[in-house]
């Protein structure tokens, strides 16, 4: 590594959702959503998480599967994310979940490669906070993504909520503090608290799996519609449902619906809010329980990050605002679509984009900047520290160090310096430990004043890994 | 569970199959011996253990279930100092004391002598007390014919040394089901308690065989508030039940006051006339009385009933129980013993609990028993796989057995889901057509467990017809799931259950058909 981004280093990310999935790639050090190959509209950048198994055991995925499934719903599979296990998907077919998921991931990989115009070998796959490391679902997903499945060489698993937090930091800069990730999707609600530390995004706790979400909201409209239109439940068609879904989405942006000819049913936003209010209260109770469990107050949260498509409903934000107000947590702000810098956090793609950023920072060394003096790069956050000629001091102190890391408690006030000198044709670099308490490690060698025989300084040639306190750096020329 | 072929038979068959598989392998003899004990165990009554912290009302609950004041001892101190195993039998039969030391013979103590014996042991002799493993008490309540109830000493904390006795016992006896009691200060620790309990006693407890109780809800009551203790209890429970660990462990948690429930069985004519005197008092006077426990037993010139008599009543009904009765009478409610009995059972939350105990545990005793045995057996098999570096052939057999067992677990799980669906359906929360509900019950064996009864075909249907019928229903329900289920996601869970039930059934028919053919070949040749 360290050389120019070759195809071996390409990463993509997949947020595999119950109803739809989002895929992201990295281009010019920027995460981008990769749309399905067959997406024709601007707003259909998501992959539908469905599959169809035909009589010859061929697996069709995503949009094609949807078309086939409409013809023959008897071999169509949808919303199976939570059913994934080490076994067969249909009773009269040999196809397993590993094979099925592998096909879906392949479709996504292909679309992403086409979009990037390069091959992609590595994947960050996000999973709900409830999955354990050796969860059957995680194992099946990993197998499906691997060499015998979709063909990824490296597969990293990241929790959905962590990915969302990474994305927030990507847009806002290192923010620190605690984020409550409020994920209200199609069928489930997950609340997760993530702590932004210098070296990791720590999962503080979660309260997940509440069966509340967009599809149930649409169902409530549909039931209201059927009663008012005097149609029996058995007579409800897919058309009716789609109309209700559209009504729901419209009401996220306006108070009332435009009159439609030939349609007597109408619903106002406040009537809709009345239908879903108690469901939303359950999500807040869930958050309350999570806070009690983690012994935190609402005011201990720095922000509530709204993700999942159903967070587009304005009442969601209002309810949370109300709760924050009631709990004297005025300093906790709600991050919803637009952040302060007017950068958009789209609730349905934040997880995939965040996972891409995670890959970029953790696994991809950016191509060297066109600078003549070498740079230190924070291995974790990707932040760059450009060295200048002369002495460059790194340490915890904001006053005494040129590059300060006040949050790293294991770093000494002045920890190490890099002396940059010009010899006429090239720059030379010498790293010296400044009598730090815990020493400085260059590759595998400890520089320390504590031990008689330990060296205290080293010449850097480029490509070294340096660690001081809990912070790690890569040095590149 | 209906007569005829049932789930117990099904398990016995499977066990017989498994034993046949194992028989050629000397290294699997130990495992085979475990399997050999199963048929007997299947026919024993189900063992239901009542667990919870000290003074959480466990013994009171046991007495309330039996409708009798003191079958097991209760009190403010640590009253139950040994595991008491309640079985069906004469109320006069001696109490049998079993010792931990396997060589020490169990001892019979006459009922009349019991109080003395118990006190002597409890207070006098720590050593003797610790030597006892459990005591066996008989009582002629019909519920005990189907389930034995095990009253346990309070778990001080689920990990403390004092609780070790109970934990050791639970590990050894492996009750088939538990009722777990919590008292009012449910909090985050409660979750840890459940987690620890599962760790200590084994993870064999799941919503199939464990229910929770939030006890002593009469403590939530106060005379100034309109808030019903049950509602307050349910509020606390709702947030607790949304926790993953709770959902994965307990079927549900019921709020109740065992004390008030027990008093429902103790109403007598004397008390009725005292209640009548009291209910005639002006409301202000009553309000004053109910303000505090102390005032309730104080003598006042304007209250005709003596303080000591009121204390006596409050010892039986609790102030909440008395308040309920007086409110009922003041509002012109009927004053028969039976009506007041019903009132107390309802308001104490006990009737709902009892209904679930009946429906979930008593009726499903066979399913639950089978489930707990299977979970235990699966663990034993896995242990065997780890313990013996069995050769490839043995490993193959073990693998086969594990698959049979996993299938059984899945089948039993499907069966127990039916109870959940039934509950929702009857409460109007699951909008099914009556035929759909009936199909759900039928395919899960509620009208007879043989394959043909589960398909609902007539008696001369061939296995091929049965298999064909299953695949049609599977097709039907998959289509339902992908059409109606999209519009009405709250029905999707039910549709998935139908799919799974028919898949299991179909697999069973295929394997039975296979067996039928091979025995035909064996009897008559090809
Ligand atoms: N307020 C109220 N008190 C109760 C209730 N049930 C029991 N109690 C009281 O709580 C104390 C303990 O009751 P027990 O039934 O002996 O409790 P236990 O859990 O069996 O106690 P140990 O066996 O000692 O662990 C006694 O003083 C009872 O009177 C109830 O429903 N409400
Ligand atoms: N403008 C909108 N207004 C209201 N709801 C919307 C809007 N846009 C999308 N939704 C809802 O968002 C839901 C999909 O959200 P999302 O993609 O986050 O779910 P998912 O990740 O597939 O599901 P889950 O989180 O349950 O696994 C759908 O129910 C959809 O109706
Ligand atoms: Mg989601
Ligand atoms: Mg007791």
Give B339→chain A minimum CA distance, Å: 36
Q: What's the pLDDT score for residue B279? A: 93
Whether residue B205 contacts residue B354, with contact meaning beta carbons closer than 8 Å, is answered with: no
The verdict on A222 touching B (C-beta cutoff 8 Å) is: yes
CB contact under 8 A, A219 and B487: yes
**Which atom of ligand 1 is the closest one to the Cα of B56?**
19
Q: Where are the domains of chain A?
A: 7-167+349-364, 375-476
CA distance A188 to A215: 9
Residue B246 has what pLDDT? 80
Which chain A residues are closer than 8 Å to B192 by Cβ? none
Which chain B residues are within 8 Å of A292, Cβ to Cβ?
Answer: 187-188
Tokens of B290: 């109910």
Q: How many residues does chain A have?
A: 477
A171 or A356, higher pLDDT: A356
Identify the band that residue A2 occupies on the pLDDT scale cut at 50, 70 and 90: very low
| Residue-by-residue pLDDT tens, chain B, 526 positions | 334 456 677 778 888 888 888 887 877 787 888 888 888 877 788 889 998 887 889 889 999 998 876 777 665 555 566 788 999 988 888 989 888 887 888 889 888 887 777 766 666 566 666 778 888 888 888 888 888 999 888 776 554 545 677 788 887 777 888 899 987 666 656 777 777 777 777 656 777 788 899 999 999 898 888 889 999 898 888 877 777 778 777 888 899 999 999 999 999 999 999 999 999 999 999 999 998 889 999 999 999 999 999 999 999 999 999 999 999 999 988 889 999 999 999 999 999 898 888 777 776 677 777 777 777 777 777 666 666 555 677 777 777 777 777 777 777 778 778 877 887 887 788 889 999 999 998 998 877 778 888 999 988 899 999 999 999 999 999 999 999 999 999 999 999 999 999 988 998 898 888 878 888 888 887 6
State whether residue A255 sits within 8 Å of chain B by CB.
no
* DSSP summary character for residue B3: S
Asked if A220 is an interface residue toward chain B (Cβ–Cβ < 8 A), one would say no
Supply φ then ψ for residue A294, to 5 degrees: -95, 5
Instruction: Answer yes or no: is the C-beta of A22 below 6 A from any ligand 2 atom.
Output: no
Cα–Cα distance measured from residue B425 to residue B414, given in angstroms and rounded to the nearest whole number: 16
Decide if A238 touches B, using CB distance below 8 A: yes
Q: A20-27 and A11-15 as β-strands: parallel, antiparallel, unpaired?
A: antiparallel
Higher pLDDT, B187 or A294: A294
Q: Model ipTM?
A: 0.73
Q: From CA A416, how far away is CA A419, in angstroms rounded?
A: 10
- Per CATH, which fold does A7-167+349-364 belong to? Nucleotidyltransferase; domain 5 (3.30.420)
Residue of B nearest to A187 (CA): B489
pLDDT at A223 over 90: yes
The answer on pLDDT for A439 being more than 90 is: no
Alpha-carbon distance of A88 to A75, in angstroms, equals: 13
CA distance B412 to B405: 11
CA distance B202 to A339: 48
Instruction: Tell me how far the alpha carbon of residue B60 lies from the centroid of ligand 1, in angstroms.
Output: 6
Q: Which ligand is nearest to the CA of A184?
A: 2
- Residues B107 and B94: beta-carbon distance below 8 Å: no
Burial B414-431 (b: 16+ CB within 10 A, else e): bbbbbbbbbbbbeeeebe
- Write out residues 276-305 of A within 8 Å (CB-CB) of B: 282, 285-286, 288-289, 292-293, 295
Nearest-CA residue of chain B relative to A289? B239
Q: Which ligand is nearest to the CA of B56?
A: 1
**Structural contact between residues A141 and A84, judged by C-beta atoms closer than 8 angstroms:** yes
Between CA B60 and CA B73 the distance in angstroms is 8
Of residues A287 and B34, the one with the higher pLDDT is: A287
Residue A271: CB partners within 8 Å, gap ≥ 6?
none
Inter-residue contact A41 to A48 (CB < 8 Å)? no
Write out the two tokens for A232.
């029996």
Structure confidence at residue A457 as a pLDDT band (50, 70, 90): confident
pLDDT, averaged across chain A:
89
More confident: B128 or A75: A75
- How far is the C-alpha of A303 from the C-alpha of A307, rounded, in Å? 13
End-to-end CA distance of chain B: 39
Does A216 contact chain B (CB < 8 Å)? yes
A125 has pLDDT over 90: yes
- Closest approach atom of ligand 1 to CA B80: 23
User: Given this model, what pLDDT does residue A48 score?
Assistant: 94
In the 8-state DSSP scheme, what is residue B106?
A: P
Taking CB atoms and an 8 Å cutoff, what residues of chain B touch A290?
none
Alpha helices in A20-73 (DSSP H): 62-71
State yes or no: pLDDT of A475 exceeds 90: yes
Q: What is the phi/psi pair of residue A470, to 5°?
A: -100, 5
H/E element, A189: strand A189-196
Which residues of B are less than 8 Å from A215 in CB distance? 489
For tokens 């209201």, the residue is: A224
Q: How far is the CA of B339 from the centre of ligand 3 (A)?
A: 52
Q: Look at ligand 2, atom 24, and give the residue with the nearest C-alpha.
A: A185
More confident residue, B101 or A320: A320
- The yes or no reply on domain A375-476 and CATH 2.60.200.20 is yes
pLDDT digits (tens, 9 = 90+) for A363-420: 775 544 445 788 999 988 888 998 988 999 999 999 999 999 998 988 999 999 999 9
Place of tokens 């569970």: B1
Give the three-class secondary structure for A468.
Answer: strand
The beta-carbon neighbor of B486 closest among A74, A238, A292 is: A238
The reply to whether residue B487 touches residue A236, judged by beta carbons under 8 angstroms, is yes
Alpha-carbon distance B218 to B111, whole Å? 33
Q: What is the pLDDT of residue B504?
A: 86
CB-based contact A285 B242, cutoff 8 Å: yes
- Ligand 1 atom closest to B259 (CA): 31
Cβ separation B490–A210 shorter than 8 A:
no
Sign for the pseudo-dihedral over CA of B473, B478, B482, B484: positive
On whether any CB of chain B is under 8 Å from the CB of A87, the answer is: no
pLDDT of residue A260: 76
Q: Whose CA is nearest to atom 11 of ligand 1?
A: B76
Extract the tokens encoding A9: 């280093």
For B480-508, how does the pLDDT look when each residue is reduced to its tens digit (9 = 90+)? 999 999 999 999 999 999 999 998 899 88
Rounded CA Rg of chain B: 27
More confident residue, B389 or A435: A435
Q: For chain A, what percent of residues have pLDDT higher than 70?
A: 93
A239: Cβ contacts below 8 Å, ≥ 6 apart: none
Q: Chain A within 8 Å of B487 (Cβ-Cβ)?
A: yes
The pLDDT-based confidence of A6 (bands split at 50, 70, 90) is: very low
Per the CB < 8 Å rule, is A74 touching B475?
yes
Residue from B50, B53, B55, B222 to probe ligand 1 pocket by mutation (most atoms less than 8 Å from CB):
B55
pLDDT of residue B418: 84
Residue appearing with tokens 């935190």 = A296
| C-alpha span between A447 and B86 (Å, rounded) | 72
d(CA B47, CA B42) in angstroms, rounded, equals 11
**CA B433, B437, B439: angle at the middle one, nearest 5?**
115
Tell me if the pTM is above 0.95: no
| Three-state secondary-structure class, residue B88 | strand
Q: Which residues of A touch B239 (CB under 8 A)?
A: 285, 288-289
**Angle between helix B164-173 and helix B188-201 axes, rounded to 10 deg:** 50
The nearest alpha carbon in chain A to B496 belongs to: A83
pLDDT at A436: 87
pLDDT at residue A294 in the model:
85
Q: Is the dihedral of CA A445, A450, A454, A456 positive or negative?
A: positive
């Amino acid at each position: 590594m360290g050389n120019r981004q070759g195809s071996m280093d390409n990463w993509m990310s997949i947020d595999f959702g119950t109803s739809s999935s989002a895929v992201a790639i990295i281009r010019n050090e920027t995460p981008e959503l990769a749309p399905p190959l067959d997406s024709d509209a601007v707003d259909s950048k998501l992959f539908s998480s469905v599959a169809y198994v035909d009589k010859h055991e061929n697996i069709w995925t995503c949009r094609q599967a949807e078309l086939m499934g409409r013809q023959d719903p008897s071999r169509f599979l949808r919303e199976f994310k939570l059913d994934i296990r080490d076994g067969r998907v249909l009773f009269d077919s040999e196809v397993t979940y590993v094979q099925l998921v592998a096909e879906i991931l392949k479709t996504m990989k292909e679309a992403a490669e086409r979009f990037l115009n390069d091959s992609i070998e590595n994947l960050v796959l996000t999973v709900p906070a409830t999955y354990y490391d050796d969860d059957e679902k995680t194992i099946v997903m990993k197998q499906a993504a691997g060499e015998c499945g979709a063909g990824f060489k490296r597969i990293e698993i990241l929790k959905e909520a962590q990915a969302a937090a990474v994305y927030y930091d990507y847009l806002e800069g290192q923010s620190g503090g605690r984020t409550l990730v409020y994920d209200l999707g199609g069928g489930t609600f997950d609340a997760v608290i993530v702590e932004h530390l210098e070296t990791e995004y720590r999962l503080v706790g979660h309260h997940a799996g509440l069966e509340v979400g967009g599809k149930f909201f649409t169902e409530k409209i549909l039931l209201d519609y059927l009663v008012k239109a005097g149609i029996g439940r058995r007579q409800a068609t897919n058309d009716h449902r789609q109309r209700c879904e559209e009504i729901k989405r419209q009401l996220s942006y306006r108070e009332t619906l435009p009159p439609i000819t030939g349609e007597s049913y109408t619903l106002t936003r406040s009537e809709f809010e009345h239908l879903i209010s108690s469901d939303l209260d359950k999500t807040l109770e869930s958050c309350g329980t999570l806070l009690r469990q983690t012994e935190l107050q609402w005011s201990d949260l720095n922000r509530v990050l709204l993700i999942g498509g159903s967070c587009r409903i304005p009442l969601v934000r209002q309810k949370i605002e109300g709760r924050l107000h009631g709990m004297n947590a005025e300093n906790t702000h709600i991050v919803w679509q637009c952040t302060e810098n007017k950068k958009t956090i789209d609730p349905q793609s934040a997880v995939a984009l965040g996972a891409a950023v995670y890959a970029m920072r953790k696994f991809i060394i950016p191509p060297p900047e066109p600078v003549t003096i070498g740079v230190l790069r924070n291995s974790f956050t990707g932040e760059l520290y450009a060295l200048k000629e002369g002495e460059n001091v790194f340490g915890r102190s904001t006053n005494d160090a040129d590059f300060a890391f006040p949050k790293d408690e294991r770093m000494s006030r002045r920890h190490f310096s890099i002396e940059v000198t010009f010899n006429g044709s090239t720059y030379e670099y010498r790293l010296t430990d400044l009598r730090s308490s815990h020493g400085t490690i260059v590759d595998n060698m400890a520089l320390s004043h504590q031990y008689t025989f330990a060296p205290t300084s080293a010449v850097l040639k480029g490509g070294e890994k340096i660690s001081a306190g809990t912070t790690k750096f890569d040095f590149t020329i | 569970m209906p007569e005829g072929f049932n789930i117990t038979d099904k398990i016995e068959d499977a066990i017989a199959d498994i034993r046949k598989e194992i028989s050629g392998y000397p290294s699997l003899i130990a495992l085979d011996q475990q399997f050999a004990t199963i048929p007997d165990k299947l026919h024993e009554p189900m063992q239901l253990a009542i667990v919870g912290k000290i003074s959480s009302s466990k013994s009171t609950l046991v007495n309330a279930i039996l409708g009798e004041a003191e079958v097991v001892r209760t009190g403010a101190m640590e009253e139950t100092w040994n595991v008491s195993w309640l079985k069906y039998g004469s109320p006069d039969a001696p109490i049998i004391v079993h010792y931990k030391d396997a060589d020490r013979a169990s001892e019979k103590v006459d009922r009349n002598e019991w109080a003395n014996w118990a006190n002597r042991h409890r207070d006098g002799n720590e050593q003797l007390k610790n030597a006892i493993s459990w005591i066996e008490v008989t009582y002629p309540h019909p519920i005990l014919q189907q389930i034995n109830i095990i009253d346990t000493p309070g778990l001080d904390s689920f990990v403390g040394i004092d609780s070790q006795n109970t934990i050791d016992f639970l590990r050894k006896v492996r009750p088939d089901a538990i009722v777990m009691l919590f008292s009012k200060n449910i909090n985050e620790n409660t979750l840890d308690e459940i987690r620890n309990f599962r760790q200590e006693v084994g993870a064999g407890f799941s919503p199939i065989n464990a229910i929770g109780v939030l006890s002593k809800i009469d403590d939530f009551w106060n005379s100034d508030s309109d808030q019903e203790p049950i509602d307050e209890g349910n509020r606390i429970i709702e947030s607790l039940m949304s926790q993953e660990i709770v959902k994965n462990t307990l079927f549900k948690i019921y709020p109740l006051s065992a004390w008030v429930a027990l008093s429902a069985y103790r109403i007598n004519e004397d008390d009725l006339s005292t209640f009548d005197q009291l209910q005639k008092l002006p409301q202000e006077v009553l309000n004053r009385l109910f303000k505090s426990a102390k005032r309730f037993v104080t003598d006042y010139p304007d209250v005709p009933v003596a303080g000591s008599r009121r204390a006596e009543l409050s010892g039986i009904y609790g102030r909440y129980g008395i308040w309920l009765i007086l409110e009922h009478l003041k509002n012109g409610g009927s004053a028969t013993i039976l009506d007041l009995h019903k009132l107390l059972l309802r308001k104490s939350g006990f009737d709902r609990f009892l209904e679930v105990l009946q429906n979930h545990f008593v009726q499903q005793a066979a399913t639950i028993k089978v489930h707990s045995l299977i979970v235990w057996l699966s663990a034993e098999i896995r242990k065997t796989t780890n313990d013996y570096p069995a050769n490839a052939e043995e490993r193959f057999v073990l693998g086969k057995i594990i698959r049979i067992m996993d299938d059984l677990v899945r089948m039993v799980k499907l069966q127990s889901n039916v109870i959940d669906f039934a509950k929702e359906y009857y409460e109007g929360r699951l909008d099914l057509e009556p035929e759909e509900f009936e199909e759900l019950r039928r395919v899960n064996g509620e009208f007879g467990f043989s394959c043909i009864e589960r398909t609902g075909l007539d008696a001369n249907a061939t296995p091929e017809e049965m298999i064909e019928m299953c695949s049609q229903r599977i097709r039907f329900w998959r289509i339902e799931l992908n059409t109606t289920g999209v519009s009405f996601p709250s029905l999707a869970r039910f549709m998935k259950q139908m799919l799974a039930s028919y898949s299991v059934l179909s697999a069973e028919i295929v394997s039975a058909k296979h067996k039928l053919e091979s025995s035909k070949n064996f009897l008559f040749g090809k």
